[in-house]
A and B are shown apart, each in its own frame.
Chain A
Amino acid sequence: MSYSDKVLDHYSNPRNVGSLDKSSSEVGTGLVGAPECGDVMKLQIKVNPQTNVIEDAKFKTFGCGSAIASSSLATEWVKGKTVDEALQIKNTEIVKELSLPPVKIHCSVLAEDAIRAAIHDWKKKQAPVDELARAEAR
């Protein structure tokens, strides 16, 4: 299979590889796996508590070239967006941007899932303690 130039670019020169402090209250971590192939992807975001803007994003993916490119692109896209804007990112946009063939769609789904998981994790951390306690009491 031949990868598009954009995939190759992200693959050979991935942006934002690395990790953020998982325990920080400003950091959300998403860890997801592709049922189709067993690949795993971790994506982290760092959110400004005042503005809800994602100021930094890092990823580490063990998987195919498309998965690496998708997550690399995802970190680029989420940076500078608010969490709500970032939630709007669809895997189909990743497919389009990277010209992924149909067989590689699940790789982009993984990236979308990772964004959602990271935001979900961050939101959980933001929920005021008393609200959490109330939710648990219910």
Chain B
Amino acid sequence: MSIQTSNSSGTTANGAPFRHLNGDGVRDYFAFFRLPRKLDLDLAQLEREFHQQSRKLHPDLFTQSSAEQQEWSMEQSSRLNDAYRTLRDPIRRTQYLLRLEGLELEEQSETATEQVRASGQAKKQIVPEDLLEEVFELNMQWEELRMNKKTGDSDPALVRELEGQKVSLEQKQEALLEELKSYWVEWDALGDTSPLEARNRVTAKMADLLNRRSYIRNLVRDVNAALEN
């Protein structure tokens, strides 16, 4: 991770060299936009860099070039687009940085759940304990809703309650994003020279928040599904 290449080396604001290769030895997305590995990004600068580099890679500029060069420019463009989309989104940006820092996050997605059910392997996802009570309640209500459907009953009060739960879950999701942003600030204040424990403490916090967020997001998805069918 500490390999430096002459064409893309850079320094952070405080003068410390920042690392800019990801695990595969490819320039990471931050370096792509000549940005330090920080989370509270200047989105305007990101956008400017994106447009500038897109222009440089425009296929029209390569019509006379060799097939090899054309292919290279295509590859770079698609990477550029991936990089832009990843860094522009607050959640994906954080996930990406955590991955660069060596943390694997696993999605509590439906497919991941099914895979785990099929393989029996433990997924690295902690159940947010303070949410259990709520999850249990939600499950009770879903069950009731399903029963109602079966018997052809309708219970508007129950539906209203579930809708209320959905709103409160969405608010929680928002609140988690705000909390996440407070850790961005902490992270950004650290430099490459900061002690590993300090860095790890912040990345672990962020990973925890992202896990909670994806757990809640899945609950929202389930509430929606329950309300729909």
Contact = CB atoms under 8 A, between A and B. Distances in A.
Interface of A: 31-38, 40, 42, 60, 62, 64, 101-106
Contacts of B136: 31, 40, 42, 60, 62
B118 interface: yes
A37 B117 contact: yes
Given A31-B136, A62-B143, 8 more contacts: A31-B133, A34-B127, A35-B126, A38-B135, A38-B215, A40-B136, A62-B136, A102-B120
Contact of B113 (A31, A37, A101, A103): A37
Q: Which of B113, B119, B133, B136 lies at the interface centre, i.e. has the most chain A CB atoms within 10 A of its CB?
A: B136
B173 interface: no
A36 B133 contact: no
Contacts of A33: 127, 129, 132, 135
A38 B218 contact: yes
A35 B122 contact: yes
B185 interface: no
Nearest to A33: B127
B149 interface: no
Nearest to A64: B117
Contacts of B140: 60
B51 interface: no
| CB-CB nearest 10 A-B residue pairs | A103-B120, A33-B127, A62-B139, A35-B125, A36-B116, A31-B132, A35-B127, A40-B136, A36-B123, A33-B132
Contacts of B108: 38
A42 B20 CA distance: 48
A38 B113 CA distance: 8
A103 B120 CA distance: 4
Contacts of A60: 136, 140
A62 B119 CA distance: 20
9 contacts: A33-B129, A33-B132, A35-B125, A38-B127, A40-B135, A40-B136, A60-B136, A62-B139, A62-B143
Nearest to B110: A38
Contacts of A31: 132-133, 136
A37 B120 contact: no
Contacts of B215: 38
A1 to B, nearest CB: 8
B119 to A, nearest CB: 6
Nearest to B219: A38
Nearest to A41: B136
Q: Which of B108, B127, B215 lies at the interface centre, i.e. has the most chain A CB atoms within 10 A of its CB?
A: B127
A105 B120 contact: yes
Contacts of A62: 136, 139, 143
Q: Which of A33, A38, A101 lies at the interface centre, i.e. has the most chain B CB atoms within 10 A of its CB?
A: A38
Contacts of A104: 120
A48 to B, nearest CB: 27
Contacts of A37: 113, 116-117, 123
Nearest to A63: B139
Nearest to A66: B117
A104 to B, nearest CB: 7
Contacts of A103: 117-120
Interface in B70-121: 108, 113, 116-120
B207 to A, nearest CB: 14
A60 B141 CA distance: 13
